[in-house]
């Protein structure tokens, strides 16, 4: 397990529960994880049974072939010796053998095809099920979970790990099955005919299987290690490209190439290690197999020479050997697949097994707002049970049409407070009510519909502007969207774009500035027309002039709603009906702008600080350039 | 809730993907350039090829020896049977040994070449002009550095094996024909049949594989988007709709994957049946010959053994063909990158700015990212040693272009820029980078500890780093972090605030100690306490240096020795704050309105919105 470093964001560090990293294959966990994957394949018993049946059929057809070859050789050879037999009958027998050979290969081919297709089908079905479950689960897991786990890690789990787990059905389970069937059938045939020769022939199997199996497992382990090293290399390259201006500005080319080379050589060394590992096992396999072959030819050849064995029997043994060679080689792949499925499966199930901490109460009712009064009653909150208190004893009430402003230094708990209202986290003490009803007693869906939260960091999706603005209500009519965009003062900009609301944004579309992104996010928050609006520092990147216009428009649009505004810039919230100042999770001052200024506390100090860079400071030329502070 | 009419269809989509074409056609030019990368490793390549050839030869010989052994066994010649067995053992041993050597050398070579190519690309990105980098998305570049390079690796990995496969195929053909011409020819007739079937199959399978790949990447992109935007998804209660959208994609992916799997499986019986047919030919025709005493039974055994091995190389070769096509497409994209011309490079006799005065001069500079639409018109500007010049003006007035040009991120269209009295085009880029320090608007931090970030490419001691951090008021907050200077920064420093990131980038510039400092002040809203620290830090940074600052904060602007006001790519006015205020031009207008905004009065619409006070 990796040790996660406590970060500046309280949310991410405190009470962090740790998640498994990719770099391990836990041999002890193997049976349990594989069992779960097989259990999922067993949900399709019919398809799986059919695939297995086809595998049996193809194995049997495979085994018939060496016998048929042997028979044909004997037919040709023996009849030559017993020259008395009618040539016609001998020819006929050869034709029959040839027909049987074609039939056997036909059956083998068809059966292998069907078993391969249906094995993969079940495997894809398992993948499909896992994919949907994974997606649904991520949507259910609360913010607290998403704070603790990196989004890139989740994406890896949902893409690569899920594939790794799924592939075990075909690449592990079905392959083991066909290997065992072939080994048992062929082994039985070989031992039955001549047990000494059978033993010689099978001698290579345990040696090769042991070496290849171990290699398959080790390859997985080294592969993970290699991936880790490659990730370092990728990061080095990616950061270099993203920070290319810094690199250029500091003439850092040589330095960056040095970083690249270091990461590169590490990865390369490991990659060489993998090559050696693989080839060593392959060499053992080849030598042991050919030793068995030589043994069979020697033992069988002498018997044939002595006349105690027919040449056809010897040929059939050679046929069995080449039949076994392929599947035994695949042992490495099976072990690799099993090891991959174990580490990957564990990482997928780890997420699927989590129980969402925030769900509807058993008797939850849809919220029936009468007025829309939001109240905090002695609310306490900590990210981890018993952890550092992020909010303590918060009390306030916001009535419809009123605005509450929240100010405080970074880390004082402002954003946390905002996130408590739509229940992205649950309070640890006290309660939050809407029209007197505890929000934990209403359904999440109805609560979140009623509460609109515009976050500080505007996340926009890689689609059109219209899709983004209408995100919360995809059925909203054109007018509603335009209206919302006008409130957020972004309509004029959108209207000026070549495809207006159909313009794509993001990677393959137009780029928006930080302020424009925030305005988009405000428009998005306005579209569904929630009963409570919360703005979490959501105008920080908008210039002051535009911000005031947005604020005025919003004031009109949300005139009948309870509004919460969190901001650094006091001008954003000085008109609020009440302003609370948070410090270390506590309300240290409250009142309206005038009262707070008069009080001469922190608010007044902040106000003074923010005004100082203005007119008052212009005359103040006492800090000339160059003086160390 | 607003009572609004509802649309008939939702405006909703999830994820998007747009794949590059994965199959290319053989291109001699690209193949030749690959070979260019193999050249330094010519000896290894030759040794690997030799080993592969020897092992392929031994591989061909093994069934032949088996057949010979059977022949001698049948005729009861025990002595020669044993001799052949010794030969069998030696051949098998040689096969294993040379297979090992060949694979070992060629796999290592492939890895090495891949890293060489990746390095060449990466190194090239350090030199190409920023105009190219501006236009190209980092994700796209990374796809080339990784995806395309990996496609190449797959090709190189199997390339040597392909030579072995071809030799094997040829060898088997020769052995069969030389052993028994008639039977050999008859057996080989199935080969064209296989080639024909594959030729018909190939275009269908390609389409199917491509579809599977697209469906998979589209599903994955939808997942990634939902994960990245999960907070918005939950805030806006889009869970159910996004699940439905995702399910449609997952279903499509399921279908596409199964169709592709069907395409793969359908070739299995074809190969099997053709093998059966070939063996049947051996049995009937060869059997008759044996019957008639015209052929030895050992030959029949040899044929049966060979026919079983015959199709493997054919299958591998046709796989190799697909891999080659993929490598061609990848190679095309890789060389496209490597071929981007380096427009800004050192002259052969580039000057080193050692003792040159720290001055910057613009002489009649005209510049545009698109030369047809100049951003800067005929700019003349002299910045004297240790002077602090603030550049102000509305968005699009050319401030950023001026500082970018000073560092020669781009080339001027007309006129010239002199740093330390030399034209920037005559100065070595390395020396220019060491003379001019830059602090960008958005502080960019690398993964690593705080100490490593401040040090960056200098060899500053820890003491020097702490000293710099103290000077820019970053020391206190750094010490409050769990591991102080050794605290690792998360993704781009996400674990510290924007203002704190800014302070670290100041410390980085201070450690680099450039004679000329270029600073693009952050516009982002930073909390008041950090803002104070930043203002203090700026003064330290400016001390004793020639500075050009794109300033947004009034405090910074006021502290400058000279203010240069730009509008639409021209210098409108310049002078000290007091002088400009008296002149009553754009600056005084902007200044008054910016100041006014805080007091919630009507704001004049003119000028740069960004210009407003930020704290």
Distance from CA of A31 to the nearest CA of B (A): 27
Question: Which residues is B571 bridged to in the sheet?
Answer: B566
Q: Which residues of A touch B98 (CB under 8 A)?
A: none
Nearest CB among B16, B82, B615 relative to A609 is that of B615
pLDDT of residue A627: 22
Given a cut of 80, whether residue A523 has pLDDT beyond it is yes
**Residue A342 binned pLDDT confidence (cut-offs 50, 70, 90):** confident
Percent of chain B with pLDDT over 70: 90
Weakest mean pLDDT among A22-36, B16-30, B176-190: B16-30
Residue B186 tokens read as 């008859």
**Mutation choice for B interface testing from A96, A105, A254, A583 by most B CBs within 10 A:** A105
The Cα–Cα gap between A461 and A345 comes to 30
Residue A311 in contact with partner chain B when CB distance is under 8 A? yes
Laid out side by side, the sheet with A532-536 consists of A451-454, A532-536, A562-566, A403-407, A578-583, A586-591
The Cα–Cα gap between B351 and B342 comes to 19
The alpha carbon of residue A339 and the mean position of all alpha carbons in its chain are separated, in whole angstroms, by 19
Residues B272, A105: C-beta atoms closer than 8 Å: yes
Q: Which residues of A touch B473 (CB under 8 A)?
A: 629
Q: Which residues of A touch B594 (CB under 8 A)?
A: 544, 614
The Cα–Cα gap between B487 and B501 comes to 13
Distance from CA of B595 to the nearest CA of A (A): 6
Distances (CA, A) of B545 to A230, B27, B231, B515: 41, 55, 45, 6
A·B CB contacts under 8 A: 523
The Cα–Cα gap between A425 and A419 comes to 7
Q: Which of the listed ranges A77-86, A107-116, A519-528, A556-565 does the model predict with the highest average pLDDT?
A: A107-116
Q: Which residues of B touch A254 (CB under 8 A)?
A: 430, 457
Question: Cα dihedral angle (B490, B496, B499, B501), rounded to 10 degrees?
Answer: -30
pLDDT of residue A5: 37
pLDDT of residue A129: 94
Distances (CA, A) of B116 to A237, A288, A333, A459, B499: 14, 37, 30, 38, 40
Are the C-beta atoms of residues B411 and B427 closer than 8 Å to each other? Answer: no
Q: Which residues of A touch B601 (CB under 8 A)?
A: none
Residues A475, B241: C-beta atoms closer than 8 Å: no
Tell me what the mean pLDDT of segment B578-606 comes to: 58
Tell me what the mean pLDDT of segment B358-362 comes to: 87
Q: Which residues of B touch A99 (CB under 8 A)?
A: 280
Window A:543-602, CB contacts with B under 8 Å: 543-546, 548, 568-569, 571, 574
The Cα–Cα gap between A229 and B43 comes to 29
Of A435, A411, A438, A413, give the one whose Cα is nearest residue A423.
A438
The Cα–Cα gap between B256 and B208 comes to 7
Weakest mean pLDDT among A81-90, A267-276, A386-395: A81-90
Are the C-beta atoms of residues A175 and A330 closer than 8 Å to each other? Answer: yes
Query: Tens digits of per-residue pLDDT, B199-247?
Result: 888 888 888 888 888 888 888 888 888 888 888 888 888 888 889 989 9
The Cα–Cα gap between A420 and A426 comes to 6
B287 to chain A: closest CA residue: A76
Given a cut of 80, whether residue B18 has pLDDT beyond it is no
Does A25 or B283 have the greater pLDDT score? Answer: B283
**Residue B412 binned pLDDT confidence (cut-offs 50, 70, 90):** confident
Residue A500 in contact with partner chain B when CB distance is under 8 A? no
Q: Which residues of A touch B275 (CB under 8 A)?
A: 105
The Cα–Cα gap between B574 and B381 comes to 10
The Cα–Cα gap between A36 and A32 comes to 6
| H/E element, A382 | strand A374-382
Query: Tens digits of per-residue pLDDT, A503-514?
Result: 887 655 667 777
pLDDT of residue A52: 92
Are the C-beta atoms of residues A593 and A441 closer than 8 Å to each other? Answer: no
Per-residue burial over A554-574, b = 16 or more CB atoms within 10 Å of its CB, e = otherwise: beebbeebbbbbbbbbbbbbb
Distance from CA of B348 to the nearest CA of A (A): 18
**Residue A30 binned pLDDT confidence (cut-offs 50, 70, 90):** confident
Tell me what the mean pLDDT of segment B519-538 comes to: 73
pLDDT of residue B495: 66
Tell me what the mean pLDDT of segment A528-542 comes to: 80
Residue A225 tokens read as 């290690």
Residues B615, A448: C-beta atoms closer than 8 Å: no
Residues B276, A247: C-beta atoms closer than 8 Å: no
Tell me what the mean pLDDT of segment A247-256 comes to: 83
Q: Which residues of A touch B544 (CB under 8 A)?
A: 626
pLDDT of residue A612: 58
Residues A106, B2: C-beta atoms closer than 8 Å: no
Distance from CA of A398 to the nearest CA of B (A): 18
Q: Quote ipTM for the complex.
A: 0.83
Of A233, A238, A267, give the one whose Cα is nearest residue B125.
A238
Residue A597 tokens read as 């200024």
Quote helix, strand, coil % in chain B, to nearest 5.
Answer: 65, 10, 25
Strand B436-439, strand B516-520: pairing: parallel
Tell me what the mean pLDDT of segment B547-554 comes to: 80
Q: What angle do the packed helices B586-598 and A544-557 form, to 10 degrees?
A: 40
Of A560, A625, A442, A425, give the one whose Cα is nearest residue A11.
A425
The Cα–Cα gap between B451 and A154 comes to 30
Q: Which residues of A touch B66 (CB under 8 A)?
A: 293, 297, 318
Weakest mean pLDDT among A620-629, B410-419, B547-556: A620-629
Weakest mean pLDDT among B248-262, B519-533, B568-582: B519-533
Distance from CA of B543 to the nearest CA of A (A): 4
pLDDT of residue A79: 56
Distance from CA of B578 to the nearest CA of A (A): 9
Q: Which residue in this structure is represented by tokens 């916001």?
A: A398
B472 to chain A: closest CA residue: A629
Question: Which residues is B439 bridged to in the sheet?
Answer: B519
Burial class from Cβ neighbours inside 10 Å (0-12, 13-18, 19+) for residue B192 reads exposed
**Residue A227 binned pLDDT confidence (cut-offs 50, 70, 90):** confident
Question: Cα dihedral angle (A397, A398, A404, A410), rounded to 10 degrees?
Answer: 50
Q: For chain A, give the mean pLDDT.
A: 81
Window A:113-142, CB contacts with B under 8 Å: 113-114, 116-117, 120-121, 124-125, 127-128, 131-132, 134-136, 138-140, 142
Residue A470 in contact with partner chain B when CB distance is under 8 A? yes
pLDDT of residue A508: 55
Phi-psi region at B125: left, alpha or beta (left = phi > 0; alpha = psi -120 to 50): alpha
Phi, psi values for residue A510, rounded to 5°: -75, 155
DSSP-derived secondary structure letter, B546:
E
Q: Which residues of B touch A552 (CB under 8 A)?
A: none
Q: Which residues contact B249 (CB under 8 A, 6 or more apart)?
A: B14, B15, B215, B218, B219, B222
């Amino acid at each position: 397990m990796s040790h996660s470093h406590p970060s500046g964001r309280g949310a991410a560090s405190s009470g962090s529960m740790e998640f498994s990293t990719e770099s391990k294959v836990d041999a002890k966990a193997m049976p349990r994880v594989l069992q779960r994957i097989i259990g999922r394949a067993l949900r399709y018993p019919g398809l799986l049974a059919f695939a297995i049946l086809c595998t049996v059929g193809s194995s049997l057809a495979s085994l018939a072939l060496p016998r048929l070859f042997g028979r044909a050789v004997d037919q040709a050879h023996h009849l030559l010796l017993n020259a008395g037999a009618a040539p016609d009958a001998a020819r006929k027998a050869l034709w029959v053998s040839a027909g049987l050979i074609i039939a056997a290969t036909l059956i083998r081919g068809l059966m292998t095809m069907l078993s391969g297709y249906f094995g993969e089908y079940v495997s894809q079905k398992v993948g499909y099920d896992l994919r949907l479950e994974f997606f649904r689960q991520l949507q259910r897991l609360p913010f607290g979970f998403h704070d603790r786990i990196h989004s890139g890690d989740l994406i890896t789990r949902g893409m690569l790990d899920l594939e790794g787990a799924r592939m075990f059905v075909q690449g592990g389970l079905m392959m083991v099955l066909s290997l065992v069937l072939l080994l048992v059938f062929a082994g039985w045939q070989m031992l039955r005919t001549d047990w000494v020769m059978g033993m010689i022939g099978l001698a290579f199997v345990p040696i090769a299987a042991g070496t290849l199996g171990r290699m398959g497992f080790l390859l997985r382990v080294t592969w993970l290690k290699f991936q880790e090293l490659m990730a370092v290399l990728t990061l080095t390259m990616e950061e270099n490209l993203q920070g290319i201006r810094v690199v250029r500005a500091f003439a850092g080319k040589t330095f960056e190439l040095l970083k690249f080379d270091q990461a590169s050589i590490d990865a390369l060394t490991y990659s060489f290690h993998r090559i050696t590992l693989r080839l060593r096992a392959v060499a053992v396999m080849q030598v042991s197999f050919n030793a068995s072959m030589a043994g069979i030819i020697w033992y069988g050849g002498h018997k044939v020479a002595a006349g105690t064995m027919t040449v056809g029997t010897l040929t059939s043994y050679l046929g069995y050997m080449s039949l076994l060679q392929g599947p035994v080689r695949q042992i490495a792949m099976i072990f690799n697949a099993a090891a991959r499925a174990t580490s990957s499966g564990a990482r997928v199930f780890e997420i699927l097994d989590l129980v969402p901490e925030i769900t509807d109460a058993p008797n939850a009712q849809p919220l029936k707002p009468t007025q829309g009064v939001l109240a905090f009653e002695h609310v306490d909150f900590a990210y981890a049970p018993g952890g550092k208190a992020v909010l303590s004893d918060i009390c306030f009430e916001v009535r419809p049409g009123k605005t509450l402003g929240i100010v405080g230094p970074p880390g004082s708990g402002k954003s946390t407070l905002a996130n408590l209202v739509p229940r992205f986290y649950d309070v640890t003490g006290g309660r939050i009510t809407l029209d007197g009803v505890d929000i934990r007693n209403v359904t999440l869906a109805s609560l979140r519909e009623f509460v609109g939260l515009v976050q500080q960091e505007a996340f926009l999706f890689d689609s059109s502007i219209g899709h983004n603005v209408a995100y919360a209500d995809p059925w909203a009519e054109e007018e509603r969207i335009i209206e919302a965009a006008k409130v957020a003062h972004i309509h004029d900009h959108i209207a000026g774009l070549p495809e207006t609301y159909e313009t794509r944004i993001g990677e393959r579309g137009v780029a928006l500035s930080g302020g424009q992104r925030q305005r988009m996010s405000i428009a998005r928050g306005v579209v569904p027309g929630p009963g409570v609006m919360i703005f979490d520092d959501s105008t920080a990147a908008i210039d002051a002039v535009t911000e005031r216009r947005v604020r005025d428009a919003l004031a009109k649009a949300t005139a009948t709603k309870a509004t919460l505004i969190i901001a650094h810039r006091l001008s954003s919230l000085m008109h609020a009906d009440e302003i609370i100042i948070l410090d270390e999770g506590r309300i240290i001052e409250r009142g309206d702008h005038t009262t707070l200024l008069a009080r001469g506390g922190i608010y007044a100090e902040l106000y003074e600080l923010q005004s100082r860079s203005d007119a008052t400071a212009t005359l103040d030329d006492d800090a000339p350039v160059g003086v160390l502070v | 809730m607003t009572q609004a009419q509802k649309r008939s269809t939702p405006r909703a989509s999830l994820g998007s993907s747009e794949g590059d074409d994965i199959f290319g056609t053989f291109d001699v030019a690209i193949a030749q350039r690959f070979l260019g990368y193999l050249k330094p490793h010519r000896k290894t390549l030759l040794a690997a090829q030799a080993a592969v050839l020897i092992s392929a030869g031994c591989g061909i010989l093994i069934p032949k020896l088996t057949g010979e052994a059977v022949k001698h066994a049948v005729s009861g010649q025990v002595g020669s049977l044993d001799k052949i067995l010794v030969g069998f053992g030696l051949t098998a041993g040689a096969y294993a040994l040379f297979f090992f050597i060949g694979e070992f050398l060629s796999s290592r070579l492939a890895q090495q070449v891949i890293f060489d190519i990746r390095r060449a690309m990466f190194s090239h990105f350090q030199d190409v002009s920023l105009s190219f980098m501006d236009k190209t998305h980092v994700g796209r570049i990374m796809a080339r550095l990784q995806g395309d390079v990996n496609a190449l690796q797959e090709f190189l990995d199997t390339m040597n094996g392909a030579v072995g496969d071809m030799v094997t195929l040829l060898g088997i053909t020769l052995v069969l024909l030389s052993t028994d011409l008639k039977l050999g020819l008859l057996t080989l007739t199935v080969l064209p049949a296989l080639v024909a079937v594959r030729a018909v199959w190939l275009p269908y399978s390609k389409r199917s594989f491509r579809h599977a790949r697209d469906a998979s990447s589209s599903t994955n992109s939808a997942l990634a988007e939902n994960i990245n935007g999960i907070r918005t998804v939950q805030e806006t209660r889009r869970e159910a709709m996004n699940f439905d959208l995702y399910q449609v994609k997952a279903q499509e992916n399921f279908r596409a994957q199964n169709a592709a799997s069907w395409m793969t499986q359908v070739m299995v019986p074809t190969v099997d049946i053709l093998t059966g047919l070939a063996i049947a030919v051996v049995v009937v025709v060869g059997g008759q010959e044996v019957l008639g005493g015209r052929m030895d039974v050992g030959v029949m055994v040899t044929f049966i053994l060979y026919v079983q091995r015959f199709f493997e190389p054919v299958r591998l070769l046709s796989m190799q063909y697909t891999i080659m096509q993929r490598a061609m497409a990848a190679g095309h994209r890789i060389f496209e990158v490597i071929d981007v011309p380096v427009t800004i490079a050192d002259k052969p006799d580039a000057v080193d700015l050692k003792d040159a005065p720290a001055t910057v001069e613009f002489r009649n500079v005209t510049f545009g990212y698109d030369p047809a639409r100049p951003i800067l018109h005929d700019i003349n500007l002299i910045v004297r040693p240790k002077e602090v010049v603030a550049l102000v003006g509305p968005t699009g007035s050319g401030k950023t272009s001026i500082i970018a040009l000073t560092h020669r991120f781009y080339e001027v269209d007309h006129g010239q820029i002199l740093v330390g009295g030399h034209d920037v085009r005559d100065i070595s880029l390395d020396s220019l980078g060491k003379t001019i320090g830059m602090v960008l608007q958005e502080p960019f931090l690398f993964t690593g500890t705080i100490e490593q970030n401040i040090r960056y490419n200098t060899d500053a001691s820890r003491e020097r780093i702490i000293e710099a951090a103290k000077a820019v008021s970053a020391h206190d907050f750094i010490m409050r972090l769990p591991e102080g200077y050794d605290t690792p920064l998360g993704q781009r420093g996400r674990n510290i605030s924007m203002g704190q990131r800014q302070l670290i980038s100041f410390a980085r510039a201070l450690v680099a100690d450039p004679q000329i400092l270029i600073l693009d002040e952050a516009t982002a809203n930073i909390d008041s306490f950090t803002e104070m620290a930043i203002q203090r830090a700026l003064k330290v940074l400016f001390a004793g240096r020639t500075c050009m600052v794109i300033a947004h904060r009034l405090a910074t602007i006021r502290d400058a020795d000279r203010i240069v006001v730009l509008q639409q790519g021209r210098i409108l006015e310049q002078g000290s704050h007091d002088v400009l205020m008296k002149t009553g031009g754009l600056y005084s207008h902007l200044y008054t309105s910016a100041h006014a905004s805080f007091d919630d009065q009507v704001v004049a619409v003119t000028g740069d919105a960004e210009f407003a006070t930020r704290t």
